[in-house]
Chains A and B, each alone.
Chain A
């Protein structure tokens, strides 16, 4: 029986990491650089050092690489790359 995760849960986790104080204010098409300061390498550090190590994602086995997310991404690029990573590892992502 494959594991199941809803895309809304994935989105909520990412928005919380980007803006812990007000995750609902994070728009789907906001550039990630609006929340992560320090350039593209800092965004890569967010993907592998913050997202992969966030306990709810870590428990699910998330193992994103910087190249999985397009450069200068928007929020939906982060969510889509995460969805693709879940599916690649055999999870079912519900919409």
Chain B
């Protein structure tokens, strides 16, 4: 068992794109109704005048209409100007996450793995003059504008969002100057969101063909990863309204052709066909005057249908949110068992300061 500090997650670099507000009132146009020039639209003449402006889009109108009733000081001019639809635009293309399974192409700002990130650690033993390091994560580049556009026929099942993202996943370490197994996986992740199916309100499908090697480039592996995640808040399945308990569940298939195992830890000349599920339970609660706490337990159980092998992995997590928006948390994670993705047995406890941005 070892303790390490997990690094900051989130975005390494970003390409900002303007979020479409072409038809909304601009900040200058809204300021024309801020008669006392204090940067706020107040109840009364200012709000009434602005609400009568035909250029106000519905989002802006809603914010002003209810905002001046709820906020005695008034509503910020800047906030009103920023209130637009921007429904499917991507504000940042480049993302860093803990792995392939920890990313949503169509919703990178708010994917379910909100507090998971890449891990980088380095330590130096002054007595033995030995170095150790770990690098684990995945880089994604979101292509295009991941949305299917206006849906006219909403009577049956339809694809509401889709997106594509090339990725580069890395996982390797060196312990006491000794290189351990390493993996470098590149591919394209395709994501499709299906709405109104007979069984679940939302289903997310992932398909990712990939090529894998090791950090030295000696291994030669190709494969296909696919997953299915259903969402139904009524069943507390992969989400819920308000704090409390909910389930996590998804199914995954990963087929690989290991032509040369290199330093990946996989056996040369074998085919693998992993099929399995991730099942978990999370409990979230918020005592008065706190930002909230969470605890979760998840089990992944996989079976290699081509080699009659199996791999089970358990993760137990507990954390405390550090801000009201719940974008940062201090968490402790215990992992035990063998995950199908790396077939390496582990028993690891991690104390993490997790940030999402």
Asked if B201 and A80 sit within 8 Å, CB to CB, the answer is: no
If A19-B242, A63-B154, A76-B59 touch, whether A41 touches B229 (CB-CB below 8 Å) is: yes
- A4: chain B residues at CB < 8 Å are none
Evaluate contact between A95 and B59: CB separation under 8 angstroms: no
Partner of A39, one of B65, B88, B110: B110
Any chain A CB within 8 A of the CB of B51? yes
Report the nearest B residue to A49, measured CB to CB.
Answer: B201
Q: Whole-angstrom distance between the alpha carbons of A27 and B86 in the complex?
A: 21
Can you give 12 A-B contacts (C-beta < 8 A)? A18-B241, A34-B325, A35-B242, A36-B241, A39-B104, A42-B231, A42-B239, A42-B240, A66-B193, A67-B147, A71-B87, A76-B59
For the complex, is A46 an interface residue (Cβ under 8 Å from B)? Answer: yes
Find out whether the CB atom of A45 lies under 8 angstroms from the CB atom of B110.
no
B residues 101-145 near A (Cβ < 8 Å) are 104, 106-107, 109-114
Do the beta carbons of B193 and A44 come within 8 Å of each other?
yes
Chain B residues contacting A79 (CB-CB under 8 Å) are 62, 66
Whether the pair B59, A77 counts as a contact (CB closer than 8 A) is yes
Q: Decide if A50 touches B234 in the complex (CB within 8 Å).
A: yes
Q: Please provide the chain A residues from 38 to 55 with a CB less than 8 Å away from any CB of chain B in the complex.
A: 38-46, 48-50
Whether the Cβ atoms of B58 and A45 lie closer than 8 Å is no
Also in contact, A39 and B111, with CB within 8 A (given A44-B231, A49-B201, A50-B234): yes
CB distance from B22 to the nearest CB of A (A): 14
B193 touches A35 (CB 8 A): no
Interchain CA distance A17-B234 in the complex, whole Å: 12
Q: How many A-B residue pairs have CB under 8 A?
A: 167
Beta-carbon contact of B151 and A65 below 8 Å: yes
Q: Which of B87, B150, B151, B246: most chain A CB closer than 10 A? A: B87
Number of interface residues of B (CB under 8 A): 58
For residue A92, CB closer than 8 A to chain B, the reply is no
- Number of A residues near B (Cβ < 8 Å) is 44
Does chain A have a CB within 8 A of B314?
no
**Chain B residues with CB under 8 A of A44:** 160-161, 193, 195, 201-202, 231
Q: A28-B70, A44-B193, A66-B193 are in contact. Are A38 and B246 (CB under 8 A)?
A: yes
Most A CB within 10 A of own CB, among B59, B148, B325? B59
Interface status of B176 (Cβ within 8 A of chain A) = no
Closest to A46 in B: B233
Q: Which of A18, A28, A39, A49 contacts B66 (CB 8 A)?
A: A28
Closest residue to B155 on the A side, CB-wise?
A63
- Determine if B183 is an interface residue (Cβ-Cβ < 8 Å): no
Q: Would you call B309 an interface residue if the criterion is a C-beta within 8 Å of the partner chain's C-beta atoms?
A: no
Please provide the chain A residues from 67 to 83 with a CB less than 8 Å away from any CB of chain B in the complex: 67-72, 76-77, 79-80, 83
A89, B20: Cα distance in complex, Å: 24
B61 to chain A minimum Cβ distance, whole angstroms, is 7
Could you tell me if B160 and A65 are in contact, using CB atoms closer than 8 angstroms? yes
Q: How far is the CA of A14 from the CA of B104 in the complex (A)?
A: 26
**CB nearest to A39 among chain B residues:** B112
Question: Is B149 close to A, CB under 8 A?
Answer: yes
